[in-house]
Amino acid sequence: MKLRVGRMMSKEFYWADHYDYEDVHRGPFTTSYAWIESIRQLVKIDCSNLDAGGEPIYANDARKIIKRLANKLKVLFHVSGPTESSVVTNCDLSTRNILVKDNELAGVVGWENCVALPRWAACEVPEFLQGRTRHEEPDEKDYDERDHEEYDSHVMEWIRTKARGVFLGEMAGLAPEWIATYQHGMTILRKDFMRAARMCHDREKQGAINSWLDDFETFQHNRYEQHPQGRDTSLEELGYTIRSLRDHLYDPDNLSTGVGPQLT
């Protein structure tokens, strides 16, 4: 059977009412820029729906973020150029789609979310390993009886953190080029940009996104002042230096910077 790349079927193109949104290009895309432009169009329509639903404040805040992101789009992505290489990826490798029997892997379902992504986006840990980092094993004695759900949640964070470290360690041995892309400063920035574009209409995420954009713009301004002739050379360093949006969103207590994605 001959395969071909067609319309994008990642979640943002069909969840909620997105499938019914007209005048939004759904692929195939030849560049990351074109893909992200379509996602921005979806979010703009979401903002209009927030207005209609009686939530203009959050819609206006989202529009301000979209405008700030627009200034970063051409900095992080090439507007035009040759077709980017892509990798076939299952974007829905969550625990609900992994079947286990007698402690053995029995199957993986959910392949309807299989898409061709640019390499920087495809080099990512599976969804079931993503989440908040917790390096120390929780002690049940430190939790009140009423906090049992919180304890269970923290245990899962700890287990997921250890499993993520094992996964990245294996990938470092099997595919060092994958790890190099995953840890690259531009990859970090591009993924953070995607998070911001997808979440900017979420009132609970807007504060973290604005904080990340503040860090981004402050770093850019300082480097431009120091190196006015070499504005593009500092972008990779920027990805390693400022706190990632992922940390702003999911690890607000992690104040470390300048480390990028780690293998542990």
**Backbone phi, then psi, for 132, in 5-degree steps?**
-65, 145
Q: How confident is the model at residue 227 (pLDDT cuts 50, 70, 90)?
A: low
Burial grade of 55 (CB within 10 A; 0-12, 13-18, 19 or more): middle
pLDDT at 52: 64
pLDDT at 224: 65
* Res 64 pLDDT > 60: yes
* Res 73 pLDDT > 70: yes
* Res 58 pLDDT > 60: yes
Q: Is 25 helix (H, G, I), strand (E, B) or coil?
A: coil
Quote the CA–CA distance of 222 and 179 in Å, as a whole number.
Answer: 30
CA distances from 107 to 12, 87, 95, 256 (A): 25, 21, 12, 38
DSSP β-bridge partners for residue 184: none
* Res 60 pLDDT > 90: no
Angle between helices 176-183 and 185-199 (to 10 degrees): 60
pTM beyond 0.75: the answer is yes
Please tell me the chain's helix, strand, coil percentages from 3-state DSSP, rounded to the nearest 5. Answer: 60, 5, 35
54: left (phi over 0), alpha (psi -120 to 50) or beta: left
Mean pLDDT of the chain: 84
Mean pLDDT in residue range 177-200: 92
* Res 255 pLDDT > 90: no
Quote the CA–CA distance of 95 and 103 in Å, as a whole number.
Answer: 14
Q: What is the DSSP letter of 85?
A: P
* Res 149 pLDDT > 50: yes
CB atoms within 10 A of CB 225: 8
CA–centroid distance for 218 within its chain: 22
pLDDT in tens, 89-126: 888 888 899 999 999 999 999 888 788 899 999 999 99
CA–centroid distance for 50 within its chain: 23
Mean pLDDT in residue range 14-22: 80
Mean pLDDT in residue range 32-36: 90
* Res 187 pLDDT > 80: yes
